[in-house]
Structure 1
């Protein structure tokens, strides 16, 4: 099998040391068994705070452990038993965490989603998961659900996390806790072992629903405990290290990351997208887990800030940044930390350039970049973890220039979710890193399922302890993605490097097939184009057409400035949507000019035309909660703009 694209976890000394330091998680048979240990070892350490929540709260590990026990006693007194499911629809807060862990303590599971999710999805989840009770964020959400009296009576209880309901039948948070005070909580260690952890459901997550109805993904305690053990290979923050959490807690990525950070004894602060910019320098996080769009926002914030500087200072910072970027890239090439192999002569050339640029880079690293990082993210960020999508190369290089190692991971809801991640000591840009412990990959031909060779593109299959046992009540759907040997079909296209690092190249179902038969992966083109200040968002189109097209969410001020520099006269609103014809023609030419500069550019990767459209957001249903594009929804909303591109 030498030369064929398979990858297995192979630990180095640093990983072995990190895993050994985190050995207490090996003793756990259930996720909720963590809290007595934390209370015993780190009782006085601040565990969690939510300064922007409806009820601002903060708790030490000792207090949090006690509240979880009280919540478990309350749930048991309300009739919740082992194996039952409770629907939990709310956003990040300590109360969400306490409810989640209290349910696990009684052996129940929660089916989770955000309070801002479409009502149709929430009602579907209640029915699909056969929920015996309901936990909601507030009265407003309960009203939106429009539950019938019959439905409400079928629940063992309805618990409202925020405020008091004007309905007597709805429990408020304090009344709920009061019900458990003085009662004995279920023993977190009784009748629990490693073997049963593999078949005991901890939670039911639902796929993002980018196509069709969301599918229920029951994840077991063993699935998630694997994450809590294995992520020590990527980051190992010290007890009390500040963590800033901005992603929805009910999402697989944030969920597993939070459990892991708690297992390290970190102090987690819940923030919001609105408060993130202010909280970064205030909280000074050591570790963060977030998505590409937020790293991009931090980079944009940097460039917006330097626009306000005097010209000479702006020139110095831009020159220093350009030099640091070139120095870091050259040094990486010297060490062979690249997707493409580097010849000895090119390594030597890169080494000479890296050495030549070192003095200026070192000076900037001492005098400039610490101040920049202090303002951008507090200056302490050691473990910035990116998931939920590929990071754009220009964003990756930006942070690398400042001395921040973005650790890009990869996974899916069905894999709990992390299956691979770049390591701080071997950070190959353009990859999603090598596998996590006990995890393996193989790359196969999408049609024949024959193994590909290293650096050959194919379908990514993964196997490991974090892979789900199957979709909830959907055996046929399960059989499509999970074979008898435990290999899960991710639906993603990629290739493996000889060191086991995974390179993702696209999504099988997102591939655009032109009428010529040429296959085009849209994601790399979109990521490349949004590096331009002219475009806020881009979605490529062109299925069954002769040429590609592009839906563009324009950065209007940047485009007007660009046009003015070229001597063009554009309407101030660019002609609305789909846009002024001359504006569209000019931007199409600029896009094709940019795409021609892309490494390994192909002739079919050019656009015949574009259309300007409104932004893709979570609120309008065009982005998932992790800011991935819902392509079918976008295509439906902008169908007339797409038709206009192709003169239909």
Structure 2
């Protein structure tokens, strides 16, 4: 009988039977645990594994102060450590892969969820890149001619996206990728402001989205479709004065009209990348080839201990209009590795990962939190499983401190294999960014997945990278040291006072400001907006608040913009509280809000119903549907437990919640493509619900 669920009896004899059962069960559990521990010790003692240790880096002294509180990464001889000199243009990354692995697989895709991956080689990819680029030039796109150089891209992540992008670079043109989440009005406004004349669309839906705005596509003359458009969309395009071509037709134009390559220089403009910010008119950050190339070089140096190679496999599923996914791709290409693509959006991502079995993957914090929550839920009802999990994490953490990351220990076989198989079973590097990770969760997931979790921090304005953790650094809860080590230069960071929030640089806390080789040149055509974030000394002001911690590592602790004050005068950073409460496996998404009229917070929550129902019913039968009151009661109780364990103050824990009818997503307009919540959009859409939660509540806590 399960000792966790037996019924207590008033009978002495009945109690004795259960006591004997408990003792026997406990003895068995202890015996098994001891045997496992002994086996693990023997395995560790005699198994020889390479250590994941970087060259030329002291973990305890990762940065050095250069002047007036400015710090930079401390590392020497990066090119010697890499074994090659990093390319100085974006095109150079793909070209190096082709040089060292021309006949090897480069880009992979699936025709459907049941098909295997099909691959085109580096040589085939380079031929298509050159043909497509020549086709663009034949259609009138001109190098170094202002808006005449711009090539708009509005398509899903796919091999053609990459071919189109590198086709622009092959002829020194400028890629202008668009997010669908910014909406048709904003897209049209941006296209017209930039005077984009040629637009690449993934399919008919992309063009219909573009045409749905109120401004019209005034500058666009040619639309190129990756997937052949429908007859109705062809007709609509003709009505709007647009010439329609397919992707294949542009490639064929390039085959027929051969044009010599016109390769870019490092200082040439490469990308106009729209910020994935959550408010206001989208701004196009001007990124040169040097900026992006140096940013990726610094990432590669951060991953030195992992030793990527021609066998490296990556998977792309995030929008390529976001810099993070493109950095992952470039890091794969420069080693001649292969890049697979998600077949049909997030719903099939896990199936694609299982088929592709990548060893390099980008996972946003929300996905990592979900994996973590499922792992905890799997052991929630068993004391024995909890003990095994704790022991496995303990021993694997010891290995990681010695620089050993692996997936074939006894603990992997007994405890973690099923979890590892959900992400392919051979991931060596999991890169993450866009939001801070919980320190406890990070260490647990490193042990459970048997891979290095590489945490980066940056913004579009900094080519996606400002800081990054170093392979083998086991301390969690930070975003590493300033990016650096590349021969072309690195990032310098200083913290400046934020007196309104009580942060002062003299205490090692303040707004994060960065200067260096991979910053934007400014926002295209928006000098006033540029001046707001880029100062006269060349520092970008991020709006994030950081703290220097041990070893010269940077920790992001607050946000200047997304704060509010409660009635008792306490300032709160909602994103920080959300990160803490998301450690509960019962929560998929949470949005915390508050104001100066009330002494407590409220929240919008989308629960994890798969886990919530069994918890609500004590592990028994799951009902068809829970009432809103039952869900609220369970979650509020959970928040108290989590809040206490995370040392939150009572006023930081939501006192009332509203259950969201559906999760936030980029599709419904509540999240950016980088999975950041558009706080003002959410606040306006749920204004009534947020207000109603305070009704009938005293203004005094």
Flag whether TM exceeds 0.5 (same fold): yes
Aligned counterparts of 1:427 and 1:12: Cα–Cα separation in 2: 21
Q: Does the 8 Å CA contact 1:454/1:496 hold for their aligned counterparts?
A: no
Structure 1: gaps spanning 5 or more residues: 338-357
Aligned counterparts of 1:320 and 1:3: Cα–Cα separation in 2: 50
Aligned counterparts of 2:458 and 2:90: Cα–Cα separation in 1: 20
Does residue 51 of the first structure (1) align with residue 110 of the second (2)?
yes
Q: Give 2:525's aligned residue.
A: 473
Q: What secondary structure does 1:418 align onto? A: coil
How far does residue 395 in structure 1 lie from its aligned partner after superposition? Answer: 3.4
Match of 1:174 among 242, 248, 251: 248
How far does residue 10 in structure 1 lie from its aligned partner after superposition? Answer: 0.6
Q: What secondary structure does 1:607 align onto? A: coil
After the TM superposition, which of the residue ranges 270-279 and 367-376 deviates more from structure 2? 367-376
Aligned counterparts of 1:107 and 1:417: Cα–Cα separation in 2: 22
Match of 1:399 among 445, 453, 456: 445
Match of 2:471 among 424, 431, 435: 424
Q: Does the 8 Å CA contact 1:91/1:114 hold for their aligned counterparts?
A: no
How far does residue 382 in structure 1 lie from its aligned partner after superposition? Answer: 1.2
1:137-156 equivalence runs, <5 A? 137-146=202-211, 154-156=219-221
Cα deviations by residue, 1:257-296 (Å, 9 ceiling, x for unpaired)? 2122211211000013122212223222111123112223
Cα deviations by residue, 1:320-355 (Å, 9 ceiling, x for unpaired)? 2122334566888x99x9xxxxxxxxxxxxxxxxxx
The TM-score, its normalising length taken from structure 1, stands at 0.84
Cα deviations by residue, 1:458-513 (Å, 9 ceiling, x for unpaired)? 21111111111111111111111111111111111121124221101122111222
Does residue 619 of the first structure (1) align with residue 667 of the second (2)?
yes
Match of 2:685 among 633, 637, 644: 637
Cα deviations by residue, 1:33-86 (Å, 9 ceiling, x for unpaired)? 444443332110101112158998632111111111111211111111013212
After the TM superposition, which of the residue ranges 52-61 and 490-499 deviates more from structure 2? 52-61
Does residue 21 of the first structure (1) align with residue 83 of the second (2)?
yes
Aligned counterparts of 2:297 and 2:287: Cα–Cα separation in 1: 16
Q: Give 1:493's aligned residue.
A: 545
Match of 2:336 among 265, 268, 280: 265
1:508-587 equivalence runs, <5 A? 508-544=560-596, 545-565=598-618, 572-575=625-628, 580=629, 584=632, 587=635
Q: What secondary structure does 1:23 align onto? A: coil
Distance 1:394 1:175, change over 3 A: same
Q: What secondary structure does 2:532 align onto? A: helix
Structure 2: gaps spanning 5 or more residues: 1-64, 485-489, 697-701
Q: Give 1:251's aligned residue.
A: 322
Cα deviations by residue, 1:420-448 (Å, 9 ceiling, x for unpaired)? 11112223210011111111211111249
Aligned counterparts of 1:368 and 1:74: Cα–Cα separation in 2: 55
How far does residue 362 in structure 1 lie from its aligned partner after superposition? Answer: 9.9
1:44-193 equivalence runs, <5 A? 44-52=103-111, 58-83=119-144, 84-115=149-180, 118-146=183-211, 154-164=219-229, 166=231, 167=234, 169-189=243-263, 192-193=264-265
Distance 1:33 1:215, change over 3 A: same
Q: Does the 8 Å CA contact 1:592/1:606 hold for their aligned counterparts?
A: yes
Distance 1:634 1:49, change over 3 A: same
Q: What secondary structure does 2:224 align onto? A: strand
1:203-352 equivalence runs, <5 A? 203-235=271-303, 236-271=307-342, 272-300=345-373, 302=375, 317-327=385-395
Flag the structure with larger Rg. Answer: 2
Cα deviations by residue, 1:126-173 (Å, 9 ceiling, x for unpaired)? 11222121111112322332289x977853422111115543730012
Aligned counterparts of 2:412 and 2:324: Cα–Cα separation in 1: 34
How far does residue 536 in structure 1 lie from its aligned partner after superposition? Answer: 1.8
After the TM superposition, which of the residue ranges 509-518 and 94-103 deviates more from structure 2? 509-518
Aligned counterparts of 1:3 and 1:65: Cα–Cα separation in 2: 45
Does residue 378 of the first structure (1) align with residue 424 of the second (2)?
yes
How far does residue 98 in structure 1 lie from its aligned partner after superposition? Answer: 1.1
Q: Does the 8 Å CA contact 1:4/1:453 hold for their aligned counterparts?
A: no
After the TM superposition, which of the residue ranges 139-148 and 550-559 deviates more from structure 2? 139-148
Aligned counterparts of 1:642 and 1:156: Cα–Cα separation in 2: 45
How far does residue 454 in structure 1 lie from its aligned partner after superposition? Answer: 7.5
Q: Does the 8 Å CA contact 1:407/1:424 hold for their aligned counterparts?
A: yes
How far does residue 89 in structure 1 lie from its aligned partner after superposition? Answer: 0.4
Aligned length: 601
Aligned counterparts of 1:204 and 1:129: Cα–Cα separation in 2: 10
Cα deviations by residue, 1:591-615 (Å, 9 ceiling, x for unpaired)? 234213214x335423332222232
Q: Does the 8 Å CA contact 2:495/2:546 hold for their aligned counterparts?
A: yes
The CA RMSD measured in Å over matched residues stands at 3.5
How far does residue 375 in structure 1 lie from its aligned partner after superposition? Answer: 1.6
Q: What secondary structure does 2:652 align onto? A: coil
Distance 1:374 1:495, change over 3 A: closer
Aligned counterparts of 1:322 and 1:4: Cα–Cα separation in 2: 45
Does residue 387 of the first structure (1) align with residue 433 of the second (2)?
yes
How far does residue 316 in structure 1 lie from its aligned partner after superposition? Answer: 5.1
Aligned counterparts of 1:143 and 1:605: Cα–Cα separation in 2: 44
Aligned counterparts of 2:209 and 2:191: Cα–Cα separation in 1: 14
How far does residue 554 in structure 1 lie from its aligned partner after superposition? Answer: 2.3
Aligned counterparts of 1:448 and 1:210: Cα–Cα separation in 2: 23
Distance 1:628 1:152, change over 3 A: closer
How far does residue 396 in structure 1 lie from its aligned partner after superposition? Answer: 1.4
Q: What secondary structure does 1:232 align onto? A: helix
Does residue 368 of the first structure (1) align with residue 414 of the second (2)?
yes
Aligned counterparts of 2:547 and 2:397: Cα–Cα separation in 1: 22
Q: Give 2:535's aligned residue.
A: 483
Aligned counterparts of 2:602 and 2:623: Cα–Cα separation in 1: 21
